[in-house]
Amino acid sequence: MSRLRALRELSACLRGEPPENPDWGELLALANQGLVTPGLAATLRPHIGQVPPQVWAFLEDVQRRNRERNRRLNAQLEDAVGALNGAGIEPVLLKGAAQMAACPPGEAFDRMLSDLDLMVLPAQVDDALRALTGAGFTSLRRHEGLSVHAVAELGRPEDVGHLDLHQRAPGPPGIADTEDLAARRSRLKIQTGTVFLPDTASQILYLVLHDQFHDGDYWRGGFDLRHLMDLARLTPELTDDDWRWLRGACATRLVRAALDAQLLSAARLVGPAGRAARADLHARWTHQRWRLQFAYPGYRNPLAALTLALEWPGLMAHRAANREGRQRVLGASAPEPYAPAARLDRVRRIMAGAGGKI
């Protein structure tokens, strides 16, 4: 069975439109790789009669286990927020942590989380680390310097995931760390204290910057199905004003191209974000290139190199805008984020892929 057929069948199921006689083994393997098996169970529940009993038993077991894991992650998040609030810090929640906190009480939350992303101001990092370690969290890894976005990973023996402490969101600081973005957050009361949540348009921008530029998906191709499902849930909430702000906040043509292509992928693979996607020629080609890189892994690097050559002028303009943004946000003396050797290592890691990518 081809990888593209497995993707088509999984995509149909994630849209709530299961095909007849799919290859359930290949479909489930791809869902597991993409970390969307609990969401697959949720979308297939109304179609349970079309699912073989042994497949449904597996899906239901994964969904049950993930809900228990999310319950424990939520308790972990509340402990962390209580400790930070006690030090006078109200963190910003990012990605899955923000979506979990915003989930209405009593509503099932079937997204799988890798970790919990919390963001504080750079000036609050040391106080935040002291508060968290005082609450029993151990620092597992520490990253130094203003140029990094994630400063520490923390955890406890009883936890099922790590806390990722950020001082800024992933992505170019001139785009991901602006005053405009900070103004689009709202305070949310949870059981143990208060946090800030980015609004819907900001969450979409953060996802695009994280996937396409921090993780390098724009070049390596393939898909992050969890985040495409996030986009499918988030985009229907956007107003016309939100869309105008979002496209302006992308700041460079390359980021806007990545936004359009990722939204188009969400539309075609998991729906229903497509009504808002700009399916111009560049977005359609980028989506098709990502499909080819997914279907034929041997073409992944050659197609990435070809794209780099074809889009070199746009990339150089993007990098120039990033340098200006870094100087504006971090100061004129801020170091470049990657030395030449580190940049080569980053390219290797990008092409190898990260957890949850297909």
Please report which confidence band the pLDDT of residue 274 belongs to, taking 50, 70 and 90 as the band edges.
Answer: very low
Query: Taking the C-alpha atoms of 160, 29, 60 and 266 in order, what is their torsion angle to the nearest 10 degrees?
Result: 90
| Cα–Cα distance for residue pair 239/2, rounded to 1 Å | 39
Neighbours of 293 (CB within 10 A): 23
- Which residue type sits at 357? K
Whether 273 contacts 229, CB under 8 Å: no
Count Cβ atoms within 10 A of the Cβ of residue 211 and give its class: 0-12 exposed, 13-18 middle, 19 or more buried: buried
Q: pLDDT per residue over 335-344, tens digit each?
A: 565 556 556 6
pTM assigned to the model: 0.92
Whether 24 contacts 52, CB under 8 Å: yes
Q: pLDDT per residue over 301-350, tens digit each?
A: 999 999 999 999 999 999 988 888 877 777 765 556 555 655 666 666 66
Pull the structure tokens for residue 50: 């079309």
Mean pLDDT confidence for 186-193: 94
pLDDT at 331: 74
Whether 269 contacts 17, CB under 8 Å: no
CA distances to 80, 83, 137, 139 from 130, in Å: 12, 9, 10, 10
pLDDT at 144: 82
Region for residue 97 given its phi and psi (left: phi exceeds 0; alpha: psi -120 to 50; beta: otherwise): alpha
Give me the DSSP letters along 126-192.
HHHHHHHHHTT-EEEEE--STT-SEEEEEE-TT-SS-EEEESS-SS-HHHHS-HHHHTTEEEEEETT
Residues 6+ apart with CB under 8 A from 109: 67, 70, 99, 100, 103
pLDDT at 343: 61
| Cα–Cα distance for residue pair 202/249, rounded to 1 Å | 9
**In degrees rounded to 5, what are phi and psi of residue 140?**
-90, -30
Q: pLDDT per residue over 136-158, tens digit each?
A: 999 999 988 777 889 999 999 99
Pull the structure tokens for residue 57: 């038993």
Pull the structure tokens for residue 270: 């998991």
Mean pLDDT confidence for 109-119: 96
Residue 343 vs residue 356, higher pLDDT? 356
Beta bridge partners of 193: 190
Average pLDDT over the chain reads: 91
| DSSP-derived secondary structure letter, 104 | P
Give me the DSSP letters along 254-283.
HHHHHHHHHHHHHHHHT-SGGGG----HHH
Q: At what angle do helices 300-310 and 312-330 cross, to 10 degrees?
A: 80
